[in-house]
Amino acid sequence: MNGDPEVKRREFRGPAGQGAMLYDASRSSNFSVPWFEPRYWQAHDAIVGEARGRGRALIVKCSNGQLLLRHYFRGGLVAKLSRDRYLWRGENATRPFHEWRLTHRLHRAGLPVPAPIGARYLRHGATYDGDMLTEFLPQTESLAHRFVAGTMRMSSWIAIGRMLRRFHDFGLCHADLNAHNILLRDEEQAFLIDFDRGSLRKPGLWRDGNLVRLRRSLEKLDDALPASRLSEAEWHSLLSGYREAR
């Protein structure tokens, strides 16, 4: 991942307290460590909203536009032992650095992802925690939100299928492809987010596994609704878009 020469050319590393940070100076020439701290943006009255996921992500404004500041939180049963600490296995294995480099590579390839701005880890002996700053995509809402609201169009399902095929053809295996990690703008513009633990692979059955995971996340949302909204016609529209994008 970090062997991509173009990513390395744009990548700037600097100290960050007990850890280090990566950032793209071509996007933020005045980038500094405080940008990873919510209190910095609060002191500048620059917090304009928040996004909900595994943890709270802040939407902040600066001279470069709006950014999304996300702290890494654990999920599942392990979160009861440690909410945001990960085992230290070397700098290049940290989740923020891995995700920043992967997102940078996807963005450089012209795929619909938010531009990566910066990533940081702070080491605490045998563990570390981390943060990520990306471009905020305005006028978008998640597939999950639209699905529950009942505002999905067939054209949107097709657009999602086309978008996912582009990523799969590039070799991206998304580690957590679900309805919350797909964003939609208007009816036919789709984006993919959250590449934590993602990887680039050769073609294989992992592609089917990605689609199955997405289908299960939609079924989970559908089960909580008073009446089903996930019809076979909608899912096959997504698959149709996926196949025709070859």
Active site residues: 176
Whether the CA torsion 245, 193, 47, 32 is positive or negative: it is negative
Exposed, middle or buried: residue 134 (CB in 10 Å: 0-12, 13-18, 19+)? buried
- For residues 103 and 195, what is the distance between their CA atoms, to the nearest angstrom? 7
- For residues 211 and 124, what is the distance between their CA atoms, to the nearest angstrom? 37
Q: Which residue has the tokens 């999950």?
A: 144
Q: Which two tokens stand for residue 133?
A: 């700053």
Hey, how many other C-beta atoms are within 10 angstroms of the C-beta on 122?
18
State whether residue 200 is helix, strand or coil. strand
- For residues 97 and 84, what is the distance between their CA atoms, to the nearest angstrom? 16
Hey, how many other C-beta atoms are within 10 angstroms of the C-beta on 70?
23
- For residues 43 and 61, what is the distance between their CA atoms, to the nearest angstrom? 12
- For residues 209 and 38, what is the distance between their CA atoms, to the nearest angstrom? 36
Q: Which two tokens stand for residue 210?
A: 């990605």
State whether residue 142 is helix, strand or coil. strand
Whether the CA torsion 172, 130, 135, 75 is positive or negative: it is positive
